Structure 1
Amino acid sequence: MTQTDHRLIRVGIVEDQPLFRSMLELTLAGVPGLRVVAAVGTVTAANQAFKPGAVDVALLDIDLPDGNGIALGVTLRRAQPGLGILLLSAHDAMDLLLDLPPDVASGWSYLSKTSSTSTDELVRAVRATADGHTTLDPALLDRMEPRAGSSVARLTDRQYRVLRLLARGLSNAGIGEELGIAEKSVQNHINTIYAALGIDADPARNPRVTAALRLLEETGPAS
């Protein structure tokens, strides 16, 4: 079991559309192990409500009436380095994760409001983000393909599928269940992927986050 199986995850929501904000709040409030501690509609309100230590994961709409969720996330993370950030957008802006300042670049996730607002995907993303992982929108990933000549393009079909499932925030057990293979086989695939992508075991960096961002960096819309 992961760390998030043993503790309450406190979630803060910043979404300017009242109906969608209420939907997110009601959805997450009904999930065991999650608690919505604040749901607001502006950057100003978030800065007042999300004091360091108040939330574990911040769900942030990118487009807000008095600013944007990315700048807000950077501010919140610098005040609380362990805070997970889950961005939501009605547009395909997933590649914005590649432009984050290096000091706050880990532990950010991205879901599209239009393609991946199912309860399962949302809850998985919240829990993975609380553990410091990066979760990418599965429907958007399905539309991507490796760029020619990239390290990701040299992965086998099975390795590429494992990498995409990892980038969706699935655990090794979850990946194994999805593919019908043993958890040990999943770890072997992941180790091979890390080697192929040149991802080392630097304790200061989460290799799963690095792998997810590499997938984002080295893929583009399918032709």
Structure 2
Amino acid sequence: MRVVIAEDSVILREGMVELLTARGCDVVATVGDGDGLLAAVATHVPDVAVVDIRMPPTHTDEGIRAAIQLRAAHPGVGVLVFSQHAEPAWAARLLAGEASGIGYLLKERVSATADFIEALHRVAAGGVALDPVIVSRMVNAGRRPLDRLTERERVVLDLMAQGHSNRSIAELLVVSERAVEKHAASIFTKFDLPPAAADNRRVKAVVAYLQESRS
């Protein structure tokens, strides 16, 4: 199996080369950016490319954009996205065309090298290898944030909308304040409200809740 690796971290890149070579793979090229990936695939036409999402120059989505271009130009080359970032929208775009020879694994969730190698072989053979986290987020992406909440989270958010503090909510629900904080954190995540110093996530969650409740 011939492999191209696109990873901007030199340590990770060299580690993958050693791992794949030891498992009988032929690493025909290693690159550190999206342009290098496209050039390497055009030159070597490997069986599969291992691609990180965020690479130079902006470290945002260069890798995944290059992977989509790669698939358009070389549909026979498998693409295994191997990243620490779960981006279901990009996974959906990769799968939008010919949904074969595609993989998306999260670095921190690969607990055994054998699992990585097996996924790589599957993708190279035209199969699909998606981390369950990616699948779950792709499914939930089409649902309203309100529909993603558990029954208890809905109750907590409703009480937030009524102006109750976490302590007040805890007293009303006869639970610990820490339990309410965990529910609130889950609500913020499901409403795509990451921590930010300038934003009041509680207010934004309530506004979104009231807007969705009226729709």
TM-score normalised by the shorter chain: which range applies? Answer: 0.5 to 0.7
The aligned residue for residue 35 of structure 1 is: 26
Scaled by the length of structure 1, the TM-score of the pair is 0.55
Q: Pick from 12, 22, 32: which aligns with 1:20?
A: 12
* Higher relative strand content: 1
State, as a whole percentage, how many aligned pairs show the same letter.
32
Q: Pick from 31, 35, 46: which aligns with 1:44?
A: 35
TM superposition shift of 1:106: 2.9
Higher relative contact order (CA 8 A, sep 6+): 1
Would you say how many aligned residue pairs link Structure 1 and Structure 2? 138
Aligned alpha-carbon RMSD (Å): 2.7
Runs of at least 4 residues of structure 1 off by over 6 A? 141-144
Matching residue's letter, 2:23: V
Larger-gyration structure (1/2): 2
**Compared CA separation, residues 27 and 103, structure 1 to 2 (3 A):** same
**Compared CA separation, residues 121 and 37, structure 1 to 2 (3 A):** same
Scaled by the length of structure 2, the TM-score of the pair is 0.56
Aligned positions of 1:33-112 closer than 5 A: 34-51=25-42, 54-66=45-57, 68-94=62-88, 96-100=90-94, 102-112=96-106
Equivalents in 2 of 1:58, 1:117: separation in Å? Answer: 21
TM superposition shift of 1:57: 0.2
Equivalents in 2 of 1:27, 1:74: separation in Å? Answer: 26
Equivalents in 2 of 1:54, 1:99: separation in Å? Answer: 22
Gaps of 5+ in 2: 141-189, 191-215
The aligned residue for residue 203 of structure 2 is: none
Matching residue's letter, 1:70: I
Aligned positions of 1:1-223 closer than 5 A: 9-32=1-24, 34-51=25-42, 54-66=45-57, 68-94=62-88, 96-100=90-94, 102-116=96-110, 118-137=112-131, 140=133
**Compared CA separation, residues 76 and 141, structure 1 to 2 (3 A):** closer
TM superposition shift of 1:71: 1.2
Gaps of 5+ in 1: 1-8, 148-220
* Cα-to-partner distance string for 1:77-122 (whole Å, 9 max, x where unaligned): 2221111000011122245322337334432101111111631111
Equivalents in 2 of 1:71, 1:42: separation in Å? Answer: 11
Equivalents in 1 of 2:87, 2:14: separation in Å? Answer: 23
**Compared CA separation, residues 48 and 117, structure 1 to 2 (3 A):** farther
* Higher relative helix content: 2
Equivalents in 1 of 2:9, 2:78: separation in Å? Answer: 22
